[in-house]
Copies of this chain bind each other. A is one copy, B any other.
Amino acid sequence: MDMSERVPDAVARRLPWYYRTLRELEAEETQRVSSQALGRRMGLTASQIRQDINYFGGFGQQGYGYSVPRLRQCIEQILGLDRTHRIAIVGVGNIGSAIARYPEFHRDGFEMVALFDASEARIGNKIEGLEILPADQLKQWLLQNPVQILVLATPSEYAQEIAAEAVSAGVRAIWNFTPVDLSLPDTVEVSNVHLSDSLMALTFRLHEREIHSRSEKWIRE
């Protein structure tokens, strides 16, 4: 992959999707896949697939398709999944504790190393064998135990402050589950999971369809 420039967001977003699809193909013991077949499976055009894969380095042979294990392995490396990422979670309410228990993460080299919360009722409890530490020890702890990724699942009002604290302690990637748009230096990567936004986008589309079918009905009458 030519990584001399920042890869466009659309391509970056498709990378995990390619990875997931190629793993499925591997599980089905498919050895080779054409851009057409991959496109059908992913709902993309063959030319879009070829363009993306050329972006990653390009290693199909004309008329012969791609080697599934080779392409999977290449994307795995591009995604950095061939190394271990240490993760800490701040805020172990509903969402934070669900993430702590999410079994899929262990598979891809993610290692949950610490949990933090500000609630007296939670501090000292254990999730998956890890003790919940007091949130006011976060910065000190991170300085002594660097992590690559911080999961932010606090109440909204603490999100910005906790994120800034983690960044000052060396964190360079934040997986943000709060509905807050964090304001952080450009050196920090943020991936947002705005759950309410995603639900509202769904109600919007439902509502939009309703209006369409109402106006179609009106036109027909």
Which residues on A are within 8 Å of B, measured CB to CB?
3-4, 6-7, 12-13, 15-17, 19-20, 42-43, 78-81, 85, 94-95, 97-99, 101-102, 104-105, 108, 110, 148-149, 172-173, 175, 179, 181, 189, 191, 193-212, 215
Contacts and interface: CB of A to CB of B under 8 A. Distances in A.
Nearest to A200: B16
Contacts of A79: 200, 203-204, 207
A184 to B, nearest CB: 12
B94 A208 contact: no
A20 B179 contact: yes
Given A16-B201, A105-B199, 15 more contacts: A3-B212, A6-B208, A16-B196, A79-B204, A79-B207, A80-B204, A94-B99, A102-B195, A104-B195, A105-B196, A148-B206, A173-B202, A173-B203, A189-B202, A191-B198
A189 B206 contact: yes
A197 B17 contact: yes
A108 B200 contact: yes
A177 to B, nearest CB: 10
A172 B212 CA distance: 15
Contacts of A197: 13, 16-17, 20
Copy number in the complex reads 2
Nearest to A149: B202
Given A12-B204, A206-B189, A4 B215 contact: yes
A80 B15 CA distance: 33
A20 B197 CA distance: 8
16 contacts: A3-B212, A12-B205, A17-B181, A17-B194, A42-B181, A79-B204, A79-B207, A81-B203, A85-B203, A94-B99, A102-B195, A173-B202, A173-B205, A175-B199, A191-B199, A191-B205
Contacts of A20: 179, 196-197
A147 to B, nearest CB: 12
Please provide the 10 A-B residue pairs with the shortest distance between their CB atoms, ordered closest to farther: A80-B207, A16-B197, A98-B98, A16-B200, A94-B98, A191-B202, A189-B205, A80-B203, A94-B101, A3-B211
